[in-house]
Amino acid sequence: MRLLIDSLIPKAEACFAELGSITRRPGREIDAQAVRDAGAEVLVVRSITRVDEALLEDSRLRFVGTCTIGTDHIDQAALEARGIGFANAPGCNAEAVVDYVLSSLLTLAEREGTELDQRRIGIVGAGNVGGRLYRRLTALGLDCRVCDPPRAEREADLEADEPRLPFDDLDTLIETCDVLCLHTPLVREGEHRTHHLLDEARIAALEPGTWLLNAGRGDCLDGQALLARLAARSDLRTVLDVFEDEPAIDEALWRLADIATPHIAGHSLDGKLRGTHQVYRAAMKHFGLPVRVAFEDLAPAPALPNLTLDAGLAPWEALRLCVRACYDVRRDHDGLIRYQREQGLTAGFDAYRSEYPLRREFSTLEVRLRPAAASLEPLLAAAGFTVEVEG
């Protein structure tokens, strides 16, 4: 069997080699000709490769996998019509995105001279990412509301004593929350359409001082409307990891964002390996073969396995220190600026993603607390770290 796999998917050989010979290509170079030239029966991609009728034409494909949560780059109907198996990797990088959000919000809080427990946070989209974000933020004691109409409809029939999220409509979130985090999939048609969900009217309705974070899909936010608002009144704080028309993003909007990164919120090594392994397991199931490689076989030991805290730090400062020890969003903001200077924004956007530095998730870091710092345990554990109190 022949396989064509995006060159940036880690540990592909460790997982897929037993299926046959592997050809690696950069994601943006995987097209119909590349698939035919490779004689590929298995194709494994990321979000930058569009899998549609044109790519499938005259191919020998029997299975397609995308090592991503999202599937809007995959024409699943075309795959089904041709009898081609398909799998994505739901939830693979959700923890990494939540890490990204927490790092970003703590950075904004520091810049604004406040702390997160003084803000009400609205989460738009409560799927794999938004649901985890809600659980982690509420565990930290933060006031959160959620907008997810499809999920609210599904949970409407729950018994009164069953747990449910505090759902509001989007306009209520805009009116009552001073932080807005977007984590919706891109849906272009239908009752729950999310394309330009945050449109000109809703962007205009954001209260001055609102923090707006988008780590979902770039097209869910009207970039031109946000640009007009920021250019006219610099009264919002913005964190943008996704943009319309990637990688050819709007440079004017990029320059006005407080934190701007090149679609890397979920780019932890752990999340990438989870995506590889999920698609590997689906492929083996599709071909009726046993799964021989365990996820634990793929992940290396973290470079920073632990750190120790003693008394002397306020709780939110201690949290900020641990977060930055593991992942500091400012590195990626500054990295994109550097790549833009060297290569231009469009090429730099792609190059930074391709050369992305090693990043591990919060759960890989053990925080050891001396007895005098034991009171920090609930906060740090809620944030996702492994915590041990000494003594």
Per-residue model confidence as pLDDT tens digits over 78-95: 999 999 999 999 999 999
Tell which phi-psi region holds residue 323, choosing left (phi > 0), alpha (psi between -120 and 50) or beta.
alpha
DSSP 8-state secondary structure symbol assigned to residue 28: G
The mean pLDDT value of the chain amounts to 95
Summarize pLDDT for 61-82 with one digit per residue, the tens: 999 999 998 898 999 999 999 9
Q: Which of 246, 353, 359, 360 is catalytic?
A: 246
DSSP 8-state secondary structure symbol assigned to residue 361: -
Q: d(Cα 78, Cα 162) in Å, to the nearest integer?
A: 39
3-class DSSP assignment, residue 293: coil
Q: d(Cα 164, Cα 171) in Å, to the nearest integer?
A: 20
Q: d(Cα 114, Cα 354) in Å, to the nearest integer?
A: 35
Question: What class has domain 2-88+269-297?
Answer: alpha beta
3-class DSSP assignment, residue 74: strand
152: exposed, middle or buried (Cβ count in 10 Å: 0-12, 13-18, 19+): middle
The boundaries of every CATH 3.40.50.720 domain in the chain are 2-88+269-297, 93-260
Asked if the model's pLDDT at residue 162 lies above 70, the reply is no
Q: What are phi and psi of 386, to 5 degrees?
A: -85, 125
Asked if the model's pLDDT at residue 157 lies above 80, the reply is no
Task: Pick the closest to residue 174 from 205, 217, 131 (CA basis).
Answer: 205
Asked if the model's pLDDT at residue 153 lies above 90, the reply is no
Q: Whole-angstrom distance between the N-terminal and C-terminal Cα of the chain?
A: 56
Q: What is the CATH number of domain 306-389?
A: 3.30.1370.170
Asked if the model's pLDDT at residue 160 lies above 60, the reply is no
Summarize pLDDT for 363-373 with one digit per residue, the tens: 999 999 999 99
Residue with tokens 């939110």: 316
For the question of residue 246 being annotated catalytic, the response is yes
Q: Is the peptide bond before 247 cis (omega within 30 degrees of 0)?
A: yes
Its pTM surpasses 0.85: yes
For the question of residue 263 being annotated catalytic, the response is yes
Q: In what order do the strands lie in the sheet with 386-389?
A: 306-309, 366-369, 386-389
Q: Which helix (H) or strand (E) holds 352?
A: helix 345-354
Summarize pLDDT for 199-256 with one digit per residue, the tens: 999 999 999 999 999 999 999 999 999 999 999 999 999 999 999 999 999 999 999 9
Q: Report the pLDDT value the prediction gives residue 216, as an integer from 0 to 100.
A: 95
Are 173 and 148 contacting, i.e. CB atoms less than 8 angstroms apart? no
Q: d(Cα 252, Cα 27) in Å, to the nearest integer?
A: 27
Q: DSSP states of 141-201 as a string?
A: T-EEEEE-HHHHHHHTTS-TTS----B--HHHHHHH-SEEEE------SSTT--TTSB-HH
Q: d(Cα 302, Cα 323) in Å, to the nearest integer?
A: 15
Q: Report the pLDDT value the prediction gives residue 353, as an integer from 0 to 100.
A: 95
Q: What is the CATH number of domain 93-260?
A: 3.40.50.720
Summarize pLDDT for 6-58 with one digit per residue, the tens: 999 999 999 999 999 999 999 999 999 999 999 999 999 999 999 999 999 99
CB-facing half-sphere around the CA of 349: CA atoms within 13 A: 20
Task: State percent of the chain over pLDDT 70.
Answer: 98
Binding residues are 47, 68, 148, 184, 241, 266
Are 173 and 180 contacting, i.e. CB atoms less than 8 angstroms apart? yes
Structure tokens belonging to residue 36: 């035919």
Q: Which of 119, 217, 274, 360 is catalytic?
A: 217
Q: Which of 263, 267, 359, 360 is catalytic?
A: 263
The boundaries of every CATH 3.30.1370.170 domain in the chain are 306-389
